[in-house]
A and B are shown apart, each in its own frame.
Chain A
Amino acid sequence: MEKKQIIEKRKPPIASIGTIGWIKGNLFSTWYNSLFTLLGIYILYSIIPPIVQWGIIDAVWSGEDRTVCEWYDENKVKYRAGACWLYIKVWFNFFSYGFYPDAEQWRVNLTFIILAISIALFFIPNFKKKHYIGIFLFVGYPIIAFFLLSGNETLGLHHIPTHKWGGAFLTLLLGGIGIVFALPLGIVLALGRRSQLPVVRALCIMFIEFWRGIPLITVLFFASVMFPLFVPQGVDIDTLLRCIVGLTIFGGAYMAEVVRGGLQALPKGQYEAAQAVGLGYWRMMGLIIMPQALRIVIPGIVNTFIGLFKDTTLVAIISLMDLLLAVFTSQANPDWMGFPFEGYIFIAMCYWIFCFSLSRYSLRVENKLMVAHQR
C-alpha cells in the first residue's frame, strides 16, 4: 500500500495574493478594466496635484492684508499666491457671528455650550435622569437661549436685535429650530391625515398639500415682504421669527408625509392588538404605533432634516445674513474682493461637517433601534 504523504503547504503564487494579487484581480483583470484603471489614474493625477499645490503648498495662511495673497510689481502686473486662507482667518469672526457685537459674542458661545453639555449628558449610557434633561432641552433651554441671545435689560444683558444675528450662528439657529419643531408638527399632521374624523383629515390634507405645493422661496418672500403689508403698522413681528415659522411649517409638511409612510408600513395587526389590550387612541399611538413607525422612517426623517438645513441658505434672499450671505457680503469689501473660491470652499466644508455628522448620528440611532431587523 502506498503511503500517502501530506505535501507541505506551499504559498500561493505571488501574483494571486496580497496587494499584487488584489491589483491584478480587481484593477487589471480584463483589458477594459485595465483601460479604465489607467484612465482613472490619469484623471486623479491631473486633478489632485494642482489642488494640493493651490490649496496647501502655495496657500497663504497668515499675514496682515491682501497684499500677501495678491500683489503688483512696478509694471502693474498682478501676481497671485495659492489659496488665500488668510481671508477666511481675517473674516472668521464675521462668518461665525455676523453683526453680533464682539463684546456680546460670549452669549452665543454660552448658548451653544449649554446645548452641547445637555446633549452630551443625554448620551451618557446608564445616566438615570434622562427625562429631566429631555424636559430641560424642550422647555427650559429655548427660554434660556432666547434671553441669552436676544438680551434682557433687567438681567443686565444688552438687547441685540435679530437683524444683527448672522453667520454660521444664524444658520445653525435656523436649521436647529426648524429641525426640532418640524418633527412634532409632522407627526401631528401625519396622524391628522390618517384620522377617522373627516374635518381633521380634510384640514390636514389641505395644509400638507398647500405647503408642499409651493416653493420655499415663495414662503420666505411672503413672510418677509408681503406679511408686513397685511398687518397694521403697530403690529411688528420680527423678520427672523416670521422666517423661522415659515421654515418650520414647510419642513413639517414634508415631515408629515415621511411619518405617514412609517404609519402605513405597520401591519393592521399592530393597531388591532393594541386595541385588544384596551389601549385608547393616544396610548396606542404613543406606546405601540409611533415607536415602530418612527424607527422605520429614520432615514427619511434625517433626509428631510438635512434638506431643511441646506435650504436655510435661501434666507439670504430675504436679507437674513446667514453663512452664505455673510461670505458674499464680505466679498464686497474693496480690501478683500476677489477671493470667492476660498469663501465657497469654507462654506462647503462647514455644511459638509454638519450634514455628515447628522447622517452619522442617524446611522448610530438606527443601528441601536433596529435590533429586530439587523441583517
Chain B
Amino acid sequence: MKLSNVLRLFTSILILSFGTSAIADTLSDTQARGHVRCGVSQGLPGFSNPDADGNWVGIDVDVCRAVAAAIFGKGGDEKVEYFPVSAKERFTKLTAGEYDILSRNTTWTLSRDAKIGLTFNGVNFYDGQGFMVPKALGVTSALELDGASVCVNTGTTTELNLADYFRANGMSYEPVVFEKADEVIAAYDSGRCDVHTTDKSGLAAQRTKLAQPDEHMVLGETISKEPLGPVTREGDEPWSDIVFWVLNALITWDELGLAGGDAVKSIVGDTSSTPEVKRILGVEGDTGGHLGLEKDWAYWALFEVGNYGEMYERHVGANTPLALARAGSPNAGWKDGGLLYAPPIR
C-alpha cells in the first residue's frame, strides 16, 4: 500500500469513528443499560459535589437524576452513573460516548454549540462573573475599582472577561493570578489584592472560606453572561429533546407551584386540576409518547427530584452555605422578573 493510501485509510477510520458516535440511539442504549450516564464536575459547591457517603449531590446532578426518573419511572433517579470530568476533557469524552449527558456548569456559547458538535438543552442556572471586595474598601460599584489589584484564576475566561471589562470602562488594574481556587481565595484573604473575581456562584462559595465572611461583599455588577445547562451530543435529537424537556418540566412545575415528593401524589387523582396540570401529569394526552417515554414521565421527574425551585433551594439557595437568594436573581421565574421561562408542554 502506498503511503497516501495508508493515510486515506487512516482518515476514513477516524471519520467513521467520529460518525458512529453521532448516529447511535442513546435512549434505547440507556434503557437497555438500565442507567443514565452523566458527566459531572470534579467538585463544584452546590452544582455537583459528593457527600461524605460518596453520593453525588447538586443542582447539576439533579438534572441527570430527573432525566433518569423520567426514563425509568419510580426510583429511577438513582439509576445514574456519574463520571467526574475535568474542564479539559468534558467535551471529548461526551463526543466519544463515555457518557450521554454533560451536566457540569458548562456555559452555552456559539462556538461550543456550532463548532464542537454539541447540543445545549436549556439553562439550569444563570451565572455571571462578579466582584468581591472587603467592605472596608468602601467601594459600592465595580466602576470605582480603577487601579485595583485583582486576584483571579489563570487561564480561564474569567481572566479574559476581567480584561475586557476594565478596558471597556477605561480603567487600569493589576492582575494577581493563581492556578487553583483555594490559592486565589487565600491570597485575597491575606490582603494580597483588593478584589476577587470569578462567577457569582463561585464567589458565594469562596466567601464562606474567608476568615471573616461578613467583612466582605459581592458587588452588584455582573460583567459576563454564563448560562449553564446540560449538554448532549449533536445528531441525536430524540435524546437531546428528552434532556431539554425534562429540565423544562422541572421549571414548569416551579411555575405551577407544585412541589415534588408526596405533595404531588395527592394531585394525581384530583379531578379539579387544571387541564395544563393534567396534561403534564400524563392523566390527559400523551406528551411522553412524543419523547419515546411513558405518559407519566414528568410526574416521576417531579416526584423524585422536586421542582426547579426546590432543587435550587436545596443546593444553592438562601438556607445553604452558598446563600444565593433566588428572588431578584436571573434564576427566578419569568413571572417574578427572572429569566426562567419554560416553553409550553403540550
Q: Bound pair: A and B? A: yes
Measuring CB to CB, which residues of chain A are less than 8 angstroms from any residue of chain B?
Answer: 75-78, 80, 90-91, 93-94, 97-102, 161, 163, 221, 224-226, 228-234, 239, 316-319, 321, 325, 328-338, 340
The winner among A93, A102, A228 for most chain B CB atoms within 10 A is A228
Q: A102-B53, A332-B43 are in contact. Are A321 and B84 (CB under 8 A)?
A: yes
In the bound complex, what is the Cα–Cα distance between A163 and B92 (angstroms)? 17
State the Cβ distance, A96 to closest chain B Cβ, in Å.
Answer: 11
B88 at the interface (CB under 8 A from A): yes
Interface contact A319-B45, CB-CB below 8 Å: no
State the Cβ distance, A119 to closest chain B Cβ, in Å.
Answer: 29
Stretch at the interface among B155-163, B208-216, B257-265, B269-277: B208-216
Interface contact A225-B88, CB-CB below 8 Å: yes
In the bound complex, what is the Cα–Cα distance between A330 and B53 (angstroms)? 11
Q: A334-B322, A337-B321 are in contact. Are A233 and B24 (CB under 8 A)?
A: yes
Interface contact B50-A99, CB-CB below 8 Å: yes
Interface contact A337-B45, CB-CB below 8 Å: yes
Q: B182 touches which one: A75, A76, A78, A340 (CB < 8 A)?
A: A340
Secondary structure at the A interface, as helix, strand, loop or mixed, is: helix
Instruction: Name the CB-closest residue of A to B92.
Output: A225
In the bound complex, what is the Cα–Cα distance between A334 and B20 (angstroms)? 40
B178 at the interface (CB under 8 A from A): no
Q: A102-B53, A232-B17 are in contact. Are A224 and B89 (CB under 8 A)?
A: yes
Q: Which residues of B contact A91 (CB under 8 A)?
A: 52
B44 at the interface (CB under 8 A from A): yes
The 24 listed contacts between A and B (C-beta, < 8 Å) are A90-B52, A93-B52, A94-B50, A94-B52, A99-B50, A228-B92, A228-B96, A229-B18, A230-B17, A233-B21, A233-B97, A317-B88, A318-B86, A319-B42, A329-B43, A331-B182, A332-B45, A333-B50, A333-B51, A334-B205, A334-B315, A334-B321, A335-B51, A337-B45
> Which 10 pairs from chain A and chain B are nearest by CB?
A332-B43, A228-B96, A329-B43, A76-B214, A332-B49, A338-B209, A334-B321, A233-B20, A334-B45, A99-B54
Given A93-B54, A230-B14, 6 more pairs with CB closer than 8 A: A94-B54, A102-B54, A224-B89, A225-B93, A325-B42, A329-B84
Q: A317-B86, A328-B42, A333-B45 are in contact. Are A232 and B321 (CB under 8 A)?
A: no
Interface contact A232-B16, CB-CB below 8 Å: yes
Q: Which residues of A contact B17 (CB under 8 A)?
A: 229-233
B193 at the interface (CB under 8 A from A): no
State the Cβ distance, B92 to closest chain A Cβ, in Å.
Answer: 5
State the Cβ distance, A18 to closest chain B Cβ, in Å.
Answer: 47
Instruction: Name the CB-closest residue of A to B321.
Output: A334
State the Cβ distance, A277 to closest chain B Cβ, in Å.
Answer: 50
Interface contact A329-B49, CB-CB below 8 Å: yes
State the Cβ distance, B163 to closest chain A Cβ, in Å.
Answer: 26
Interface contact B205-A163, CB-CB below 8 Å: no
In the bound complex, what is the Cα–Cα distance between A310 and B41 (angstroms)? 24
In the bound complex, what is the Cα–Cα distance between A318 and B93 (angstroms)? 11
Q: Which residues of B contact A232 (CB under 8 A)?
A: 13, 16-17, 20
State the Cβ distance, B103 to closest chain A Cβ, in Å.
Answer: 15
The winner among A163, A330, A336 for most chain B CB atoms within 10 A is A163
State the Cβ distance, B24 to closest chain A Cβ, in Å.
Answer: 7
State the Cβ distance, B84 to closest chain A Cβ, in Å.
Answer: 5
Instruction: Name the CB-closest residue of B to A75.
Output: B214
Q: Which residues of A contact B16 (CB under 8 A)?
A: 232
Q: Which residues of A contact B52 (CB under 8 A)?
A: 90-91, 93-94, 330, 333, 336
In the bound complex, what is the Cα–Cα distance between A248 and B113 (angstroms)? 38
B52-99 contacts to A, CB under 8 A, are: 52-54, 81-86, 88-89, 92-93, 96-98
